[in-house]
Chains A and B, each alone.
Chain A
Amino acid sequence: MAEFVNLFHGFATVLAFQDVNVFGMQMYLPFNVFIMVVGIVLGVIIGVLPGLGGANGVAILLPLTFSMQPTSAIILLSCIYWGALFGGAITSILFNIPGEPWSVATTFDGYPMAQQGRAGEALTAAFTSSFIGAFFAVVMITLLAPLVAAFALRFGAAEKFAVYFLAFASFIGLSKEPPFKTLAAMLIGFALATFGTDHMTGSLRLTFGSELLIPGFDFLIAVIGLFGIGEILLTMEEGLKFKGKEAKINLRIVLDTWKKLPQYWWTYLRSCIIGCWMGITPAGATPASFMSYGIAKRVSKNGKNFGNGEIEGVIAPETAAHAAGKAALLPMLALGVPGSPTAAVLLGGLLIWNLQPGPMLFIENKEFVWGLIASMYLGNVVGLIIVLTCVPMLAAILRIPFGIIAPVILMFCAVGAYTVRNSFFDVVMMLVFGILGYVLKKTNYPLAPLVLAMVLGDRAEEAFRQALVGSSGSMGVFFSNALVSSIMALGFIALFWSVISAAISRIRGVPATAS
């Protein structure tokens, strides 16, 4: 039970009252809680404004924290990060523009809900699900930290590829669109992910001699174009309006939505487990959200309605993404491997405060580690309260007339595209992707597999090639031990699930129902 004692000390650290000087006034207050609130508010702003992603925000504010205690500093930075995660869901639901890769799956049902005037409900569900996922992961970290770190070490290149394969297989094969169009969309995504730099070797490919193509196509550019600009074009075609003017805008929707949520307890539990597992393995939050969405769609009795504004379709990806996001911090602290750009920037901060991430951190810097974990509990609660009180305000954004909101969204799309890499070429590509998104949608090509392939493409390719180098080219490496074989087997089952379930039904003599 040493963990509980440590955690208790952590809470004491976070809640301790201090004499501090705030804006020139001498005050006696729990400074770390104050910092937490500031961090989350800043984070939400950063998350909502495209171009100020979590990593950017943290990097910009990092120098400001050097004069603070390490514990306070990391609380500020991590709360900005949590805030940015909450913020990412807002633009996904309201404008169909996912700010971060893991909010892509949230758009599938969140945006239709907003269009039906249920923006408040979708936002509440998203925030609450993020909270539950994150909370579950933090509890797991508290209880299982050493075990989990050891498990993460078992993942070499082959195992990583197997996890990506599983994530892909559980998402793919359930779209309503014609199978060859789904396949084509997916292959375009994979192909786009390979342009420019080959991240494994650093060599160039598919640049056709152009310097502009060296950095490749960033996933965010594609998403801003495909979803954000594409949506505005579709809206124009349908005649000038974002539906959703009738959205209810009071705090009652929060309570009403909460009443509905407990019936989805099984979706929550499943998504939490998927999220934690993917966070540790360490595939990360994006595959977790897609995989959780895919499985929920298959398992749910409302599966057919997914994509048309089903609340379960918001719950599943948000819960899993945040469980994974938090769970992924554990390998960073325990092994020193950053799971995301933001984590990398945080890691840089740790080093400046003379904290060396790694197995010894948990032993030598107990106060810091458990202070951070305690701040994850508290930051989550504070964050939920802050964002929930904002729900009515956010839902009201949809009442702004199209004539004003559309150009403002366009401006933010351009800003977001530019800041990804400070490149004007990316802004041009954003428009190209926008038109592509419009035509793809009109001609019945699904966007989700394209996006998923673009996100996972280079990581999956890298793991695949590293595994093959290690085995000198033998494919047997993907079945070389119990762990990798079982993940691969699960992947194949997921991939051919519709065939398998149809076969089972036929054997039983039940009329086959494709799910």
Chain B
Amino acid sequence: MKPSVRLTALLGLVFFCGCASTKDYREAQRDSSLHTDPQGSRLLLPRDFAKLGVVPDSAERIRRESNQMVDITNPASLASDVPGTFAGRDNTTDLAAPVLSEGLTSPVIPALLAVSVQDAAEAAARKRVVVYTAALRSVVGDIDASMARAKELALSCGGYVQEIRGDSIALRVPAETFEPTLAAIEALGQTAAREIHAQDVTEEYVDLEARLKAAQQMRDRLAALLEKAADVKAMLEVERELGRVNEEIEKLTGKLNVLRNKVAYSAISISFVRVAPRVSAAAGARQLPFYWLRQLHPDRLWD
């Protein structure tokens, strides 16, 4: 078979797999709380395999196992700790086998599909990726001073001010300083309301990592195919697909960076409320029958 014909057939198969997998993927989404991507994907993903019963549901495994947290601020640790680095596995379940059973020999798709969800789930189960957020309502005597102090606290621990609106301020502080900073901010006044959320984004993180890895692998393979392309038509087809994959990589990278930032910097939003005047605090206090006492006020001086 001519190389160009073989290349075209291969690309066609790639598209076919993408389309076929999309259906399964969406079915998997409907049935599983693990999968939350509303847009679907044309890439074959590890979770598609899980849905088809080839490997255990990674979400179940994650729920059953550990509760540690990933140090997401350290990319090096992520590469080794968090699934998405699918190197060195020996228990790969290759769903590509039935799909590619009819005479296809290209290494692209098997390599792309040979992604172990089991490894991913196990690695994820070892450590958790958690986004911490806190919302406070603090009653203070001096709002401006309290807001300035809150800002100082955030900056001093390596955080930053995300937004100031009226008497509210939104801060982002490094995750490792979340608790002490929150305690220091609470000490600024009397906390009237407090909400703290710990959102487990392990599944989302693992999913993004896996999709990114798969897309990068596909890009590498397509780049290799591009070099081997024998005619212009094949070259154009590979380049078109390469462009689509690169676009996908950029989107996934962006999402991953946003998620990493959310994990690395915990959000603390504070709504300051001025303490009620003593007149209401001293309920039951009675006026004295001396009118001039009531007239003692700076406004009378400034009249």
Q: Do A and B bind each other?
A: no
